[in-house]
Chain A
Amino acid sequence: MTMLTDFGYILLFIIAAIVFVAVILFLAKLIRPNRPNEEKLTTYESGEEPDGNANVRFNIRFYVVALIFILFDVEIIFLFPWATVFGNKRLIAETDGLWGWFSLVEMFVFVGVLLIGLAYAWIKGHLDWVRPEVKTTEYESKIPTSLYDKINQKYSQ
């Protein structure tokens, strides 16, 4: 049996999944009530009137992360074929053990380049997210703190 016919079974899986989803949705459509009105169909915004279009601007960092991801994902795909031949006993035996060292060093170089890329993004601050900061107030109260201590002492007994 060749690979191509084997993939027929994957098609079987896909068809079964599509049929399942379609049947369930159709059944649900048959038996559920359907009485829409204007209030039901408005966008939910915590009970307020929806304000403007919902396709708002979002943080640019999501975009940067997606870009970095694509670079890294492509590089990982290159590692997959390498990983399958790395421990190949025949190749190691034929080259008298040299194959392992050669491919390991090669991979070191490759992962090294990956790491430099990651370090660059890291140092440039593309991986930092806005985090909440604790701000100390500069306001100085006219009431001396000793007064508070007195009150605390009075009521702690």
Chain B
Amino acid sequence: MEITSTLFTAKAIYVGIIFAITLGVAAYSTYFERIIAAFMQDRVGPDRAGPFGILQPLADAVKMFMKEDFIPANSNKWLFIAGPCLSMLTALMTSAVVPFGDQLDLGDGIILDLQGIDVNIGILWVFGIVSLGVYGVLIGGWASNNKYSLIGAIRAASQNISYELAMGLSIIAILMLSGSLSTKSIVETQQNGHWNILYQPLGFVIFLVCAFAECNRTPFDLPECETELIGGYHTEYSSMKLGFYLFSEYINMFISGAVMATLYFGGYDYLFNDYVAQISWLGEYAYNVSALLGLVVLIVKALIFVFIFMWVRWTLPRFRYDQLMGLGWTGLIPLAMFNVVLTGASMLFTVNDGGSNWMTVGASWAGVIIMLVVTFAYSEMKYKKKKLATA
């Protein structure tokens, strides 16, 4: 890697653009969160800063900068500062391996991957950085030397590690289909509409629930449950450090949306990308135009997930803590294990017998339906028994 090469410059610009996109999306997520909340609760929402209130994120940023920041006398000063910084760092670093698009041809034989880096351990990087995210919350909550913060931090850590297991198991099912840990090749196996969601309906649902829990979003926002814990782990924080915590949550939402689009919804794949790459009047630019369209498509897919995050926030009430742990350990982990077994079986029957991909799709959906029927019948039976016992 030569520091002066054009490729390096292009990559550096790419990193800047990705950061700008993530931060911009995160900033405007705060605005749209309020607009959507207002829409769902039949009120107006932010409308003072600029037309339709679109300058609201700017006003918030200015407020974050101008507020007085104090570090409680009893806190551990350096850890108190390190907590939110770590949260922000881990949130920003995850996007390094997400393939935001295909390749761009910059001329002179320089080809720029629209991806920070295509390592062969891509998805492990995401998994590892997400686990590191726990430290930001835990360090911040512990260093505040506040009882509410401590309880919030412990809850956050406990919840994140519990849901990480189910998340890892649902990723394993994806890896079985693609045969590679690289995010790029996971996307490439899904080109032309062979999206993993067709093969992994159950895995996707598990991953989505786990993503909610990992981002500490409602209905899993017990670490910052204001009715019990005031502000949770960021009770003592103010000014920009509080801003980092809040901001990293929105960045995580966007990045997890992008990761879900990558793993389950074909990444930058869209319906007519082969067609766009061959449009004659675009000439030599046709390929680049198709790649850039892919970038836009991926961001739109991620934004749809961000919308789902907000939609759920104003739809579902918060869990109780025993329900949360019960769902994670006794619900999602067995389900995710079942999903791994189901994926293995459905792949074997088709690969060995030379069947088509559609047979794999059929087998995995049939497995899910059978599981649903069995679970329903079992709970119905149990319910009847209970009713008999009490009657």
Contacts and interface: CB of A to CB of B under 8 A. Distances in A.
Same complex for A and B? Answer: yes
Interface of A: 1, 3, 5-10, 12-14, 16-18, 20-21, 24-25, 27-29, 31-36, 38, 40-46, 50, 53-56, 58, 62, 65-66, 69, 72-73, 76, 79-80, 83-89, 92, 97, 100-101, 104, 107-108, 111, 114-115, 118, 121-122, 127-132
A101 B347 CA distance: 11
Interface of B is mostly: helix
B272 interface: no
Contacts of A129: 321-322, 325-326
Interface in B202-258: 230, 235-236, 239-241, 244
B363 to A, nearest CB: 14
A62 B95 CA distance: 31
Interface residues of B, number: 84
A111 B337 contact: yes
Given A42-B73, A127-B326, A13 B240 contact: no
Interface of A is mostly: helix
Contacts of B181: 80, 84
Nearest to B182: A84
B80 to A, nearest CB: 12
A100 to B, nearest CB: 5
B116 A10 contact: yes
B326 A58 contact: no
A115 to B, nearest CB: 6
Contact of A127 (B81, B329, B351): B329
A32 B351 CA distance: 64
Contacts of B341: 107-108, 111
A118 B319 CA distance: 23
B176 interface: yes
A139 B52 CA distance: 59
Interface string B335-367: 001001100110110011000000000000000
3 smallest CB-CB distances across A and B, nearest first, come from A129-B322, A83-B175, A28-B240
Interface of B: 1, 11-12, 15-16, 19, 64-75, 81, 85, 88-89, 92-93, 95-96, 116-120, 124-125, 142, 144-151, 154, 157-158, 161-162, 164-165, 168-169, 172-173, 175-177, 179-181, 230, 235-236, 239-241, 244, 320-322, 325-326, 329-330, 333-334, 337, 340-341, 344-345, 347-348, 351-352
B339 to A, nearest CB: 11
B161 A69 contact: yes
Given A54-B145, A62-B158, A43 B74 contact: yes
B311 to A, nearest CB: 28
Given A8-B1, A130-B322, A16 B168 contact: no
Given A84-B175, A127-B329, 4 more contacts: A5-B1, A34-B68, A69-B162, A86-B347
Contacts of B85: 21, 25
A73 B65 contact: no
Contact of B352 (A9, A12, A55, A92): A92
B230 A44 contact: yes
Given A7-B117, A46-B230, A17 B325 contact: no
A62 B324 CA distance: 13
A45 B321 CA distance: 22
Contact of A128 (B92, B145, B158, B322): B322
B70 A84 contact: no
B180 A84 contact: yes
B162 A87 contact: no
B74 A54 contact: yes
A1 B2 CA distance: 11
Contacts of B150: 54-56, 58
Contacts of B71: 41
A33 B67 CA distance: 7
